[in-house]
Amino acid sequence: MPGRLQSQDCGKHLHDVDDLLQTHTLVEADISAQAERIRGVQASALRFTSTEQSYKPCEPALVSEKVALLGRAYEELGRLAGGRRARLEDSRRLWQFLWELGEEAAWIREQEQILAGGDCGRDLTSALHLLSKHEAFRDEMAARYGPLGHSIAAGDALVREGHFGAQEVTERIRDVRAQWAHLEEASQLREQRLKEAVALHQFQTDANDMEAWIMETLRRVSSQEVGHDEFSTQTLARKQREVEEEIQSHRNLIDSLHEQALGLPSAYARSPQVEGRLPAIEQRYEELESLSASRRQALEGALALYRMFSEGDACQLWVGEKEQWLDAMEIPSKLEDLEVVQQRFETLETEMNNMGTRISDVNQVAKQLLASDHRSKGQIHQTQDQLNDRWKEFERLADKRKQALESALNIQNYHLECNEIQSWMKEKTKVIESTQSLGNDLAGVMALQRKLTGMERDLEAIQGKLDDLRKEAKKLAKEHPDQAQETQARLGGSRRCGRS
């Protein structure tokens, strides 16, 4: 038993040490089991050393020596067992440390092989997937660094304790730290490459999307469709405004592509996939802006054309309605009816002024369209000429009807003034006749004188009116020969009243 407990075999690996510890545990249990037997033997032997016993098979001193020797032997066995366990425990700590660092070293070598792979993804999706996996690996590294630190701390403790394997422990710690630092460097390099690959694929994806959008938008703004009427052209113009807003918003995206290209490594930035794409995109974008502007001008021209046609039709419709009214208008014979028609004609003149402004606007638009070398010159000329000719004809008709109305009003006013003068003269005649009843005394003569003086002044004023009526009668006789006799008759009646 002492030989086994003094063995220097402390195991050649962790499992070997565990087996030796398990065997030693059985030995310790066996030693512990012998303790009761030894105590029994010692108790029995001590009876022979008692003075009370008459029978002494041997010398009591010899018995006591044997008992003490047995006790020392058992104690030595326990000490050897404790020493053996201590050596095995120290060995197990060493082999546990070496096993843990061996596992970490193996994991580090495995990860270094993985990181050494050059695959950074063939497209954005695969590159993002690899970057996500690498981020998970970085998390795993962070999680493993704690246990590795504990293992290294345990190794440092062995060195401080002066463990028999201190030199090997020190070397292993140095090696693992170097491997971990190299793994950290490789991980950072891999992360950088993956991020650069993601940036490159992101640039290519965004550039592809931009080129596809430009081609699609070029197709839209290259359309020759400008609508067939005002409503359809307005719809197309609204869509064109939306396209222009979309084109303007994509300017920022192109600027972002330039920023992305500047952020790429020089090797990527000088590659054909990057260096030649941005100038091509800029050229296509400028072409898109130019075509969009041309498209907008074409739609504006078409919209102006259709609005001119629409406004021209509206003007002609108004002229047609007013022509019907003028054609159907009859010149009444009564003065009050003539005044009603005159008020309506004044309203028509106000409307004509407004309509003249609208027609001028139509002519201005037509002039601009013709100056722009519009493709519908024939229609523009036709619409403009039809509207202007009809407007001139309408103005002549309105002027003719106005003259007829004014002439009728002049006749009725002439008749009215003649009647008023005749009535005034008849009234003054009655006044003169009434003076005959005045007395021949001084008061009567003076009253008569005052009345006659006032009448002389009134007659002078009436004479001026008669002269004006005479001129008006000549004018009306020329304008209305069919009513010349009646006109002269009215004037003659006024004169007769004056002579009487």
When pLDDT is cut at 50, 70 and 90, the band that residue 10 belongs to is low
Query: Of 237-251, 394-408, 484-498, where does mean pLDDT reach its minimum?
Result: 484-498
Q: How many CB atoms lie within 10 A of CB 394?
A: 20
For 40-69, what is each residue's pLDDT tens digit? 666 666 666 655 555 556 666 676 677 677
User: How far from each other are the two terminal CA atoms of the chain, in whole angstroms?
Assistant: 185
- pLDDT, residue 159, reads 84
Average pLDDT over residues 460-472: 61
- pLDDT, residue 58, reads 64
For 358-368, what is each residue's pLDDT tens digit? 999 999 999 98
Q: How many CB atoms lie within 10 A of CB 131?
A: 19
For 294-307, what is each residue's pLDDT tens digit? 999 999 989 999 99
- pLDDT, residue 499, reads 46
- pLDDT, residue 404, reads 77
Decide if 58 contacts 64 (C-beta within 8 A). no
DSSP secondary structure letter of residue 314: H
- pLDDT, residue 435, reads 58
| Tokens representing residue 93 in the block | 């700590």
Checking if the pLDDT of 496 tops 70, the result is: no
For 79-134, what is each residue's pLDDT tens digit? 766 666 666 676 677 777 778 888 899 999 999 888 887 788 889 999 999 999 99
When pLDDT is cut at 50, 70 and 90, the band that residue 479 belongs to is low
Best CA proximity match to 349, nearest among 389, 394, 411: 394
Decide if 427 contacts 498 (C-beta within 8 A). no
Higher pLDDT, 438 or 304: 304
Query: Of 368-377, 428-437, 491-500, where does mean pLDDT reach its minimum?
Result: 491-500
In angstroms, the CA 191 to CA 130 distance is: 10
- pLDDT, residue 428, reads 64
For 249-296, what is each residue's pLDDT tens digit? 999 999 999 999 888 888 888 887 788 889 999 999 999 999 999 999
Best CA proximity match to 331, nearest among 388, 411, 391: 411
Contacts of 5 (CB under 8 A, 6+ apart): 27, 77, 80, 81, 83, 84
Calculate Rg over the CA atoms of the chain: 65
- pLDDT, residue 353, reads 94
Higher pLDDT, 446 or 173: 173
- pLDDT, residue 437, reads 54
Checking if the pLDDT of 37 tops 80, the result is: no
- pLDDT, residue 402, reads 84
In angstroms, the CA 179 to CA 145 distance is: 12
- pLDDT, residue 293, reads 95
Average pLDDT over the chain, rounded to an integer? 79
Checking if the pLDDT of 327 tops 90, the result is: no
When pLDDT is cut at 50, 70 and 90, the band that residue 497 belongs to is very low
For 369-397, what is each residue's pLDDT tens digit? 888 766 778 888 898 999 999 999 999 99
**How many percent of the chain have pLDDT more than 90?**
33
Average pLDDT over residues 220-232: 91
- pLDDT, residue 114, reads 86
Best CA proximity match to 131, nearest among 181, 196, 185, 186: 196
In angstroms, the CA 265 to CA 238 distance is: 44
Instruction: Select, from the ranges 117-121, 244-248, 460-464, the one with the highest average predicted confidence (pLDDT).
Output: 244-248
Average pLDDT over residues 317-332: 88
Checking if the pLDDT of 155 tops 70, the result is: yes
Best CA proximity match to 77, nearest among 12, 128, 19, 32: 32
Average pLDDT over residues 399-407: 81
**How many percent of the chain have pLDDT more than 70?**
67
- pLDDT, residue 66, reads 74
When pLDDT is cut at 50, 70 and 90, the band that residue 24 belongs to is low
